[in-house]
Amino acid sequence: MILAIQASTSDRVMPPTHRHCYDYPHPAVTTDVVLFTIRQDALSVLLIQRGNPPCQGMWALPGGFLNIDEDLETCAKRELLEETGVEGVYLEQLYTFGDPKRDPRERVISVTFYALSQSDLLTPKASSDAALTAWFAINQLPELAFDHADIVQLARQRLVSKLGYTTIAFQMLPKSFTLSQLQSVYEILLNESLDKRNFRKGILARNIIKETGEYSRIGNHRPAKTYRVINPSQVEIIK
């Protein structure tokens, strides 16, 4: 992955010495990322506390301005890494928000993404930035900066609706997992409990996972078979 070297907060604090001029006014373009994970049996989102105005002190999504020669997805990944230390997660474009008044500084178009992480990978960095990063359960979000609450809500809807017809859920689990863990991901995202036998039958009938041969031996109970995705490289549309 190629990363541009640049100050890493989402705000630009050190204006360069020359200016960039155009015949017509141009909006600024940013990317923002809704990074989901499951922590303590709750769907959670990673947020950053803003260190600069506007909305100073409020919580916001990780994101920032697009470099002029940088792909949109690259920008989203770079900002996520710089601001939170997270990388290697599944990431997908969500929607583009462009209300003329969404940012008080200037016209800002935000191309938003959502990303999914295993609880594993999560070392939201106590990083170089002074910026505070923290996980919040989706039902206990603080007030968010700009229109970020709308973005989170849309991302959640998209994630949940993709559960039904893609293999996206596996992106929230480690490579090898038990069926109970998988069921738990579905239950938390759908916010309803599922029948264990039917869930297992349904998943196995789709032929998208197979046994690893290994067992998970944690807790005072029978070890669980572990599984892995047959085609691990992508989120596929199934059935």
User: In this structure, are strands 224-229 and 177-178 parallel, antiparallel, or unpaired?
Assistant: antiparallel
User: Which lies closer to DNA via its Cβ, residue 101 or residue 222?
Assistant: 222
If one counts every other C-beta atom within 10 angstroms of the C-beta of residue 33, the result is 28
Q: Which does 15 bind (CB under 5 to 8 A by kind): DNA, a copy of itself, none?
A: a copy of itself
Distance, CA of 182 to CA of 237 (rounded, Å): 18
Q: Give me the helices (H) in 67-120, please.
A: 72-84
Least distance (Å) from a copy of itself to the CB of residue 9? Answer: 14
Q: Which does 151 bind (CB under 5 to 8 A by kind): a copy of itself, DNA, none?
A: none
Distance, CA of 214 to CA of 44 (rounded, Å): 29
User: Which lies closer to a copy of itself via its Cβ, residue 26 or residue 210?
Assistant: 26
Q: Which does 27 bind (CB under 5 to 8 A by kind): a copy of itself, DNA, none?
A: a copy of itself
Distance, CA of 95 to CA of 154 (rounded, Å): 8
Q: Is the peptide bond before 53 cis (omega within 30 degrees of 0)?
A: no
Residues that bind a copy of itself (CB under 8 A): 12, 15-16, 19-29, 65-66, 68-72, 93, 95-96, 98-100, 107, 109, 111
Q: Which does 93 bind (CB under 5 to 8 A by kind): a copy of itself, DNA, none?
A: a copy of itself
User: Which lies closer to a copy of itself via its Cβ, residue 72 or residue 224?
Assistant: 72
